[in-house]
Amino acid sequence: RYEKESIEIFCEKNDTLTTEFANIHHTASIYYRFQEEYEQQARCLSRALNAIKSSLGKNSDLYLAYNAELMQAYQNTGNNEKANDILANLQATAVMQDITNDSQAKLIANQAEQMSFNGNFAMAVKMQQNVIEFYKEKKDNVQLAKALTTQILYSRYTKQYDEAIAMGDEAIQILLSHKDIRKPQSIVSNTLATVYNNLATIYYAYGNNESFPQEKRRDLYDKAIEYGNSSIALYTLAGDTATNSFAQLLSSSATYSFAIGDTDEAIRLSKLALNILKSNLGDKHPDIVTPLYSLAVYYFDKRDEELTNLYYHQALELQKEVIRTSFLHMTAATRERYWAMNKYVFELAP
């Protein structure tokens, strides 16, 4: 009601091409997004974009940000044609645009993250590369290392493993030479722990290439374990061993150990991760499903039928019970993506 009255006042004054008018429509679009009324969200964003284009121009931060939101709205309505048209425009802008300040760099980085969330990793890599070049030119080494760290993950999904490893090495050199490197829980130390973790995932994914000789695959898995342990060591040094992030790190390291045949170590790490997650999230959280399922896989490898069945059915029952009813604050599309990512528990009984 108040939104409608505000819009009517602006229309009466013929003041519909201003940033203020755009802000009203953008606020309304947020309301419609939470109500999962995506067509209404798209209408509001389209009007906001028209006003921003007139008041600030097509190269403004807000114009780019609202376009990214509009693309997501069209995807949620199933209108992929319009979403792809916006994507093409964003791609051209992101590749051609010179970043001139930190605010713009942050915006492009956020849009790259959105692209990766939507599965467009190639576009995420291009956009993030602009951010990297900006911080290189600015000689802001900490932000450069953080940007490289994020790019490692995007490169994993585009299978640019060698490039990701080179970026990881560059980020490590920057961070190890920084004056704050010996300060636990500093931005520098935390970023280094993330670099180690991301590199571990790269080496593991690289080692999964079945066309490689077994010896090369083992070397890559060993590298994954090495970097995973380095990340664990930094978390431990910082006293940060009771967090969900640390539990995820342990779960990943369990996967690397299992890849080289060290099933006992994989079980040990997975149980540690499970205990941390249960302590933080309780016994009925969807994130408990993955370590339970992993333990079922590991015990299956040891031919322990009793524990295999125990952990597998715990994972199955938990997923059936909570996966669709949890995170009700999310949109339906986000919940369905979460479901799609985790339904393998049903399909791959050990």
pLDDT tens, position by position, 21-51: 788 788 888 878 877 788 888 888 888 888 8
Q: What is the token pair recorded at 10?
A: 């602006």
Residue 138 pLDDT > 50? yes
Alpha carbons 234 and 185: distance in angstroms, whole number: 9
Helix axis angle for 38-55 and 19-34, nearest 10°, is 160
Q: Which of these, 206, 201, 202, 236, lies nearest to 218 by C-alpha position?
A: 206
The model's pTM is 0.74
Alpha carbons 22 and 188: distance in angstroms, whole number: 39
The predicted model gives 309-338 an average pLDDT of 65
Tens digit of each residue's pLDDT (9 = 90 or more) over 255-294: 999 999 999 999 999 999 999 999 999 988 878 888 998 9
**Which residues lie closer than 8 Å to 214 by C-beta, 6 or more apart?**
none
Residue 106 pLDDT > 50? yes
Q: What is the C-alpha R_g of the chain?
A: 23
